[in-house]
Amino acid sequence: MAAARPHKHSDEVQFATETSAGFAFGTDSELAEELHSDTPTELAAALRRLVHAQTSCPTYTMTSGSTPVTVTVHKDAAPTSGPDAYAFTTTLNGPRGTSVLKTTAVRRGNVLVMLVGAPALVDRHIEAAVAKLSSV
């Protein structure tokens, strides 16, 4: 697990502290877990900006080096109710094939947990990750 430090996801979104861990399940499945903390108001606002930035354009093209990659984003049902629970799936189509990542984020108080990885792994582990928020 990495040490807590200021973490900036984009020019518009910054969380006061962040720590993360990565897990590998075989050679093709990975899962990353991030914990962020800030005041509840700042954390909720930053999370909304991050999710809006990721989901506001359902299809776009980006480049990886000089290779074009088509990105499709679609919102998913949040794993838990509340205004600060989000989920979306990102599909990347390029010359080397297709990759699918799911991102799920849930805020409770001044802590946010975010899982990113293979959709089945995110779905399988999100409830345990959210349960940890009760003990923080």
For the chain, give the percent of residues with pLDDT over 90.
51
pTM score, whole prediction:
0.79
Residues 124-136 have pLDDT tens digits of 999 999 888 876 5
- DSSP, residue by residue, 62-126: EEETTEEEEEEEEE---SS-STTEEEEEEEEEETTEEEEEEEEEEEETTEEEEEEE-HHHHHHHH
The residues spanned by each domain of the chain are 5-56+80-87+103-133
- Find residue 59's DSSP bridge partners: 72
